[in-house]
Every structure is written in structure tokens, then in C-alpha cells.
Structure 1
Amino acid sequence: MDQQELLALLALKKAPLIGDIMAKKLIRTFGSATAVFEQPYRQIAAIEGIGDKKAEFIKVKDLFSKAEKELKFIEENNLKYRVYYNDDYPERLQYCVDGPIIFFENGKIDWSNPYTLSIVGTRQITSQGSAFLEKFIAEIAPLKPMIISGYAYGVDILAHKLAIEHGLQTIAVMAHGLNQTYPRNHVAHNKDVKNNGGFVTDFWSTDTFDRKNFLGRNRIIAGLSEATVVIESADKGGSLVTAGLAGDYNREVFAVPGRLNDKYAAGCNDLIKQSKAHMLTKTADIPYILGWQESKVAVQKQLFVELNEDEKMIYAFLKDNEKEMLDIIALNLKMPVHKLASILMSMELKGVVKPLPGKLFMLA
């Protein structure tokens, strides 16, 4: 890429009050980032959505000197950069309206992998959450998906470590520049991550860790992935924000259900209850709903499941009819819809049935 255009992109990335959405509009209007900075103030201010206050960035004198320093850092540390209008920019991120105009990476990342999963959750992962995640990664490993997370404590770091253990590529999306590591003690994992994927951020080396950066980090986690998996979450937290962003990007969201009185199941249960996430009870749910090669997933199915009389009746009906809508099953079995839905959820947890889009159900 022409160095002047790269400097202009970096400068535009740091322009006050100009985010990625507006930066893309400016580039689209004038043809390039370089051309943006060649425009007079009034020409910039006249653009819909800009106005006088936002147009002030064109008068900031040190934007390019700061960009030159950052470019020097990029070159001295052999970092790669991806620009949103270039062919080497990750395709899924291109579809995100607020995807970064430029981001930076460090490692050995193969963006051609068609299978990408973001795995997020609480920093206080429980033993149940750890056990589920360990089993999930082991079973999904034959499909070789890219595992993306935020390098935080708890679910994030365990997802990265398990991905590496099973020979999967893993991407750590950071909320600061790539000259830092937060949490600091995760430095111990940096070499393994770089050798099995790498680090990604759209923050500069001058951007230190700050909680306000999490939203920017989380949009990249959600945007890079075909689906986001929430392992455990309290009723509030960054994991739910990431799940919400994934939903906004029209990506699939999965959540692992838990007991009603478990603090770190509340967020997942709410996502499922509000129809914002698929209920994830077994690994095969992922390739089935996403259309991946399910036959390659090494899922250990229960050989013997005890069913009560209602469950046996539903099982027999689905065995005869292959798949059917919730309302039609209820009508044929003369069972209230609310009762049937509850029983089907219980059967799903037992691995006997699985839900399909459009309120359809079939035997697992």
C-alpha cells in the first residue's frame, strides 16, 4: 500500500469524533483517506452527519506526526495491518458497518478458515463451565475451527489454551495496543498464541488498557466470527454485550444453559429465554445449526436415556414424522403448547431431540 495512504488511514483512525462508520463515509465520498485530508474544512463539514464540530479534525496539526510514530512502531515490530477495502481483510468483518478501517495483527493467522467461533464468558468460570468447555473444544476439534476470544481471565484464556492444546488456530482480540499484554500474567501464553494464531487489535501502541475499550474490542470478537458461544455469564457483563453485537451483525449466538440459582448461568438462561441465543447442550448443535460437517464431530451420545410417558409419546410421534412444528405436535398429541415446550426442553437436555429453525423439532 502507498505509504501516504497508510498514514492517512492511521490519522483518520485517530481523528477526534470520527469513528469507523464516519471514516468509511468520508473515504467513500472523496475516494481515499489521502483525499479526505486534501479537502477544505467547509467541504468536510458539509457532509451529512459531520457538521462543524466533527469537521474540526481536519485542522488538528499533529495527526500525521502521531501516525508516523505509529507506523514506525508497526514496521519495527513486523506487525501486519489489514485495511477494510483490501482483499486480505477478513470477509466477515467487512460486513460489519462499524468494523475498523484498519487493524493490526501479530502472529501467524490464516484468515481463510471457513469455520470461526467466538467463545466468551465470565472471568469467574466455574468447574461446570470449565468441564463443558473442555469437552466442547475436544469434540469440535476435528472440524479445525478458528477459536476467537478476548484473552481475559476465566472463559477467554481457557478457550485459547484448549484451542492450542487441540491444535486449533486461536485469535486473541485485545483492548489495547500490541506492545502490551493485559492481564499481565497472560504474557506466559503469548508465544503459544503467536505460534498458533495471533493477536489482533485496532488500538494503537499508545492506547493502554482501559475498560472503555472493551466495547471496541468486543465488536471485533463478534464481527470476526460466524457464531458466538457464551459459556457462562452473570445477568450483566461483557459476554452479553458481545452476544448482543453478534445478534446485531446477524450472526448466530449460542448459550449454555444452567440451573436457575446459579449466578453465572443467569445471563445464558436469559439469552435463551429471550430467544437471543440457541440453547447449546451438546457440541453437535453447532455444526448442525451452522451447516458444518457434523459427521466429523466426535460427540459421545448417551446410549440409554430414561423417558417418562409423555416423553415416550413425543419420541414415538417424531420417530414417525421425522420433524414437525411445535404447534402441530401439540395438536396431534392433544397437549397444551406450554406443557409440550417444557417437555421438549427436557428432552433436548437429555440429547433426545434437537430444535430446528422455525419452531421445528426432530429426534437427535
Structure 2
Amino acid sequence: MSELKYWIAFNRVRRVGRARVAMLEAHFGSLSEAWGASSAQLQQAGLDRRTAATAARSRSRIDPDAEMERVQQAGVTALTWHDDGYPPRLKEIYDKPPVLYVKGEILPEDERSLAVVGTRRPTAYGREVARQVTSDLAQNGLTIVSGLAKGVDGIVHRAALEAGARTIAVMGSGLDVMYPREHGELASQIAENGAVVTEFPLGTRPDSQNFPRRNRIISGMSLGTLVAEAPESSGALLTARHALEQDREVFCIPGSILAPNSRGGNRLIRDSAAKLVTCADDIIEELNLTTIEYQIELAAFFPEDEAQAAVLKYVTFDPIHIDEIIRNSSLASSTVSGALTMMELRGLIRQVGGMNYVRLRESSQEYQTAQGEHG
């Protein structure tokens, strides 16, 4: 905690981003040591004269303790790239943010996530395909990542919430500066069922240059990026470009060749920059999300008892009602209910509404059985 306040403080210093934070930490051993350094010492660490002078002067107007208190009072969690809670996939990208501010909670199951982006002015077709495909992805246990903007972003966040799934919104402002204003209630719902995140300090206005920057975080947190509908000028194409640079998959739902709103997405497909998809299953299959290889990554983290193992046999990647599980397993309703609750807490399954459950990943016991059968 004592070190975190200096990360938050440096995050308010102009011209000190990923590369310079890494430089300072490598030279001084910690950002707390770097905070007390003179301009000359900062230059010795590798900062240019202008940035070193700016950083040194910042100490007179930035109080690390006050910044830490401000974050805490706002109900925000600040994560550095050294923290366990920092999204692992985001750590992999070149330009990862030194500090990520979070309202809500980022969970291990959010590793199974897909970015869905598109135009702020979708057509009726764009709205429907974005909603339908996102809903199907969410019901298959994927966390939906988007940018909380008007149009497609808002549609896909709501589709995920309506499916009972997790969703993550990446903002282009401070978490205390809602943009657009009409998405305030939506942001609150997302924080309760996922997370609202940003790299920008509290109080940061939604300036236009912030949104292209935040797009790399949308793609960086995700296994891949789906472009639902986008004209040639859409910022969604920037997110797709970031995904390609990050060696992540890019998918696109095709649109009419006569529709201006489909030209950007269609061009991605034409240029082989995106894979054409028409449904959620195309994406799930392309990402191999149902294969045993993917499940191995997280299986060891979820031990299970006898009741959970018995119940899990009847929960697949297709929704099944609790009453059917009780009938099939011949277990007491209280036993089944308790096992489902524990497995949902552990991230093995998810309730998708109406007491229906779907599986998110294989169990460690099943993996061991599969290994024995194929060994």
C-alpha cells in the first residue's frame, strides 16, 4: 500500500507513461525512491531534461497520500502491473498501463473474454446482430469487454447483463467523470456484475484523444475482438488494429455492400485482417474455447468435493435447469443447490437466468480422468 501511492502519484505526472515508469523503477528500485529524486537524478535514470523537470516540479502539487485517500474514498481499486489482480492478458501487451483503476472486480474467469466493438450510430441490423451474437457469447460463459460508448458498446454491455454474464467497460476518462452521462446507471450495473476500468486518474475529462488510447486496453484484456458494425471512420477499427498488433484474433460480422455503416468491417474481411463470423459458435470454435487444452490452464485452481463432482457431470456448455439436474443426479435438492452455489463461486459454472446453469470450464477431476484415458 505504501508503494502504491507513488504509482498513483506518478500516474498524474505528464509525459510519464509505461516506458518511463519502467525506466524509473529499474534505476531506483522503486517508485517511492524515484519520487524523492532531484531533476538531475531523474535525468541520470534516463528521463529527458523536460520530463525530469516536470516530474520534480510535480512534487509541489501532487501529494501521494492525498491521491491514495482520494482513490479509496471514491470506492476505486488501483492496480499496478505488479499486482496479482492486474489482468494477465493486459500484462502481455507492449503498452500496458502502469496503473489500472477499477470499480467492481476483475476475476480469473474474465480471462475468458471477448471484446465487442462497433459504431456509435448502428443501423437496425447492426443493433440486432450485436445484441444477438453478444447474448450467445455471454451465455457460453464469455466476459464481454467494450468501451461504454453510445451505440454498439452500450448494446453489448446490456446484452451481457441481460444474459446474466460478466462484462467489463473500459472508459476514456476518470472513473468519477461519467461519459456519456446517460450511461451512468449502466456503469453502476456493470460494476456490480463485472468491472468498469480506466488508465486515467480520477478527475480526467473525456477528451477526444483519450478514446483511441483506451482502445488498446479493450483489445488487450481480451482473447479477441469482434467488430459488430463499423463504417470506415469508426474507432472500432482502431481497436481491431490494436488487437492485430497484440497478436489477438479479430472477427467481423459482415454487412451489406451497399451500407456505409458496413464498409469498415467489410474492408477488414476483404483485407484478411478479420475472420468472417455469422454467429457466436464461429468465434467459440475459432478460439478453441471448448477444448481440453484451454481448460487445463485453470483446472488446477478449482478442487471439488464429491457432491460437486456428481452435480458437475450434468452441467454442460448448454443451459440446464436446476430441476433437471436434481432429477438426473438423484441427489437432494439442498445438496444440488449447495454444490451449484459453491461451483459458481469457484468459477466452474454460471447461472444464466431462470435457475439455468452452464459450464465455464472443465474440472480438475475430469481433466485427470481424460489424461488417464488418453495416456
Contact 1:8 1:64 in 2 (8 A): no
Task: Give TM-score scaled by structure 2 length.
Answer: 0.74
Does 1:12 find its partner at 2:27?
A: no
| TM-superposed deviation, 1:246 | 1.1
After superposition, what is the alpha-carbon deviation per residue over 1:112-142, rounded to whole angstroms, capped at 9, x for unaligned?
A: 4331111100011111112212221232233
After superposition, what is the alpha-carbon deviation per residue over 1:37-73, rounded to whole angstroms, capped at 9, x for unaligned?
A: 243433322445x322222233214466354433222
Alignment-derived partner of residue 219 in structure 1: 216
After superposition, what is the alpha-carbon deviation per residue over 1:175-215, rounded to whole angstroms, capped at 9, x for unaligned?
A: 11111211111123233212211211111222112111112
Q: 1:111 to 1:66 in 2, by over 3 A?
A: farther
How do 1:12-31 and structure 2 match up within 5 A?
Answer: 12-31=10-29
Give the whole-Å Cα distance in 2 for the aligned partners of 1:202 and 1:253: 23
Give the whole-Å Cα distance in 1 for the aligned partners of 2:212 and 2:250: 17
Alignment-derived partner of residue 81 in structure 1: 78
After superposition, what is the alpha-carbon deviation per residue over 1:15-54, rounded to whole angstroms, capped at 9, x for unaligned?
A: 2222222212221232211122243433322445x32222
Does 1:115 find its partner at 2:112?
A: yes
SS of residue in 2 equivalent to 1:258: coil
**Please, what is the CA RMSD of the aligned residues?**
2.0
Give the one of 229, 232, 237 matched to 1:232: 229
Q: Give the share of equivalent positions with the same residue, in percent.
A: 31
Alignment-derived partner of residue 369 in structure 2: none
How do 1:39-58 and structure 2 match up within 5 A?
Answer: 39-48=37-46, 50-58=47-55
Of the structure 1 ranges 69-78 and 151-160, higher mean CA displacement relative to structure 2 is found in 69-78
Q: 1:112 to 1:33 in 2, by over 3 A?
A: farther
Give the whole-Å Cα distance in 1 for the aligned partners of 2:149 and 2:195: 15
After superposition, what is the alpha-carbon deviation per residue over 1:245-286, rounded to whole angstroms, capped at 9, x for unaligned?
A: 111111111111112121111110111122211112222111
Alignment-derived partner of residue 317 in structure 2: 296
How do 1:145-294 and structure 2 match up within 5 A?
Answer: 145-293=142-290
SS of residue in 2 equivalent to 1:125: coil
Give the whole-Å Cα distance in 1 for the aligned partners of 2:274 and 2:167: 23
Q: Which amino acid aligns with 2:317?
A: K
Of the structure 1 ranges 280-289 and 148-157, higher mean CA displacement relative to structure 2 is found in 280-289
SS of residue in 1 equivalent to 2:280: coil
Aligned residues: 295
SS of residue in 2 equivalent to 1:250: coil
Q: Which amino acid aligns with 1:290?
A: L
Alignment-derived partner of residue 37 in structure 1: 35
**Which consecutive unaligned segments of at least 5 residues does structure 1 have?**
299-364
SS of residue in 1 equivalent to 2:209: helix
Give the whole-Å Cα distance in 2 for the aligned partners of 1:43 and 1:66: 20
Of the structure 1 ranges 148-157 and 95-104, higher mean CA displacement relative to structure 2 is found in 95-104
Contact 1:118 1:221 in 2 (8 A): yes
Give the whole-Å Cα distance in 2 for the aligned partners of 1:63 and 1:253: 45
Alignment-derived partner of residue 309 in structure 2: none
Contact 1:175 1:209 in 2 (8 A): yes
Alignment-derived partner of residue 130 in structure 1: 127
SS of residue in 1 equivalent to 2:103: strand
Q: Which amino acid aligns with 1:34?
A: S
Q: 1:195 to 1:276 in 2, by over 3 A?
A: same
Does 1:93 find its partner at 2:90?
A: yes
| TM-superposed deviation, 1:83 | 0.8
Contact 2:24 2:34 in 1 (8 A): yes
Give the whole-Å Cα distance in 1 for the aligned partners of 2:133 and 2:193: 19
Q: Which amino acid aligns with 1:296?
A: F
How do 1:308-347 and structure 2 match up within 5 A?
Answer: none
Alignment-derived partner of residue 338 in structure 2: none
Alignment-derived partner of residue 359 in structure 2: none
Larger radius of gyration: 1
Alignment-derived partner of residue 361 in structure 1: none
SS of residue in 2 equivalent to 1:82: strand
Q: Which amino acid aligns with 1:282?
A: C
Contact 2:133 2:279 in 1 (8 A): yes
SS of residue in 2 equivalent to 1:211: coil
